[in-house]
Amino acid sequence: INRIITDNITVNAQKNFSYQLFNESGRLLQRGLLLKGSNQIPVGTVKTGVLFLRIQHHNETYTEKLIKR
């Protein structure tokens, strides 16, 4: 995952995951599914600033801090 983003977040997933995208105040902006392989999450309409991408699969949870420009 590239930490500096503009129009899309690219995620290469090793298996299927669900995701949630939050802004820096914790507001949920998007949610969806990531399939095994390369995925694009469109964020062109999201305001610039800090975003948090939470990726989950059963009991595994990962959170990535991103900067939208």
Give pLDDT tens digits for 1-48.
789 999 999 999 999 999 999 999 999 999 999 999 999 999 999 999
Res 59 pLDDT > 90: yes
Q: What pLDDT is stored for residue 62 in this prediction?
A: 96
Measuring CA to CA, which residue among 60, 45, 47, 52 is closest to residue 26? 52
Q: Against a cut of 0.75, is the pTM above it?
A: yes
Q: Which distant-in-sequence residues (6+ apart) come within 8 Å of 21 by Cβ? A: 9, 28, 29, 30, 31, 41, 43, 46, 51, 52, 53, 54
Mean local confidence (pLDDT), 44-69: 96
Amino acid, single-letter form, for residue 44: G
Q: What pLDDT is stored for residue 19 in this prediction?
A: 98
Within the chain, where are the H helices? Answer: none
